[in-house]
Amino acid sequence: MAKKTIRDIDVHGKKVLIRVDFNVPLKNGEISDENRIVEALPTIRYVLENGGKAIVFSHLGRVKDESDKAKNSLEVVAKRLGTHLKQDVVFVPVTRGKALEDAINALENGQVLMFENTRFEDIEGNKESKNNPELGAYWASLGDVFVNDAFGTAHRAAASNVGIAANIKQTVAGFLLEKEINFIGGTLEKPERPFVAILGGAKVSDKIEVIQNLLKIADKVLIGGGMAFTFFKAMGYEVGKSLLELDKVELAKELLDQAQGKIELGDDVYTGKGFSADTEKNVRSIHEIPQDEMGLDIGPRTIEIFKSYIKSAKTVVWNGPMGVFEFPSFAEGTKSVALAAASIKNQATTIIGGGDSAAAVIQFGLADGFTHISTGGGASLEYLEGKVLPGIACVDDK
């Protein structure tokens, strides 16, 4: 997918609108994970170092009414950005109007400004998240060129991506969006083989289209996590109190038939009697799960089976944990898969598709062991489904 990038335009003296994804987690008003800020720095620095005026904006959190504004202001993010850039970031606490326009017009080359949470517009009825046309046109009028670097929102058509792109002469990808296109999009188009996909998480229903798409492309699809139990049920096994989507059992049967041996589920699980960190831990074969126990992680034999496929792979794409990794007793499967994938970084392309699997890898201190960790959970999932993402489609083609 050949898209124009920030390298293809001259930013000197230009007012450069940069849509980033600074939807970072906040605890007691403090940023608890700044990965999305760090990932956006190369694009912002490029604009500043090449004499552009950077106008940065993002959404943050869920904003439903006025009471959500105070806890979802981007001011704290602007300060953290300034620390990374080692320069002041002009923060404008509004999303439109004369104060914003004057502040932008006062910018000099090499300066950076951030305006307030784009989703504040949803409260006013302008529906940024619904791609209000007037709002997209207004934001486009504030700049000369538009750089979309927010992969995390690329699966949604909003005023702050598609709306601006429709009303400005040049729309290009930032370095982060380019990286996501190259790694996820490029891998799905031309994977080096063997290509092993690893899927986990709670529900088959969340990943039907991902499974269907990856079965066309991958050499092996390893399935763990809560979603595996619907497949075990489809194979005729009892799953006790394990997570189960009864209405998806027939679909699981169809997917197993389609797979023609490509799906690997392993043959044992770690179980507990309750969903808690301190429940007793047992190893059970998949055809011997007691009625009063639930599967909470892939088992030791399954871990070894999964590791054997991973270690021979040339491409690995992983989305979704293997178990309840938040409970230390049931983190072994997810951590073992992470370690196996990290161990082949020098001989394979290893991609984490955002979401909980990315959180797990970061929690385990293994982030540097992967070729690419996606910054988009929902966006990476839809990309893996083979869908066209609006936030990528709106970028100018080369």
> What is the CB-side half-sphere exposure of residue 191 using CA atoms within 13 A?
24
8 A C-beta contact, residue 221 and residue 272: no
Separation CA 270–CA 396 (nearest Å): 49
Known active-site residue 36 = yes
CA torsion, points 44, 369, 182, 41, in degrees to nearest 10? 0
Residue of 203, 284, 301, 314 marked active site = 203
Residue of 110, 185, 186, 378 marked active site = 378
One-letter amino acid at 202 equals A
| Nearest partner of 377 among 360, 350, 356, judged by Cα | 356
Separation CA 398–CA 8 (nearest Å): 9
| 3-class secondary-structure state, position 355 | helix
Separation CA 11–CA 147 (nearest Å): 10
| 3-class secondary-structure state, position 126 | coil
Known active-site residue 355 = yes
226 secondary structure, DSSP code: T
Residue of 3, 14, 36, 220 marked active site = 36
Alpha helices in the chain (DSSP H): 35-49, 75-85, 98-105, 120-123, 133-141, 164-165, 175-180, 186-189, 208-217, 228-234, 249-259, 300-311, 332-342, 355-363, 377-384, 390-393
Separation CA 294–CA 271 (nearest Å): 5
**Phi, psi for residue 164 in degrees, rounded to 5:** -65, -45
Known active-site residue 369 = no
Known active-site residue 378 = yes
| 3-class secondary-structure state, position 316 | strand
Residue of 226, 355, 369, 391 marked active site = 355
Task: Indicate which residues carry an active-site annotation.
Answer: 36, 203, 355, 378
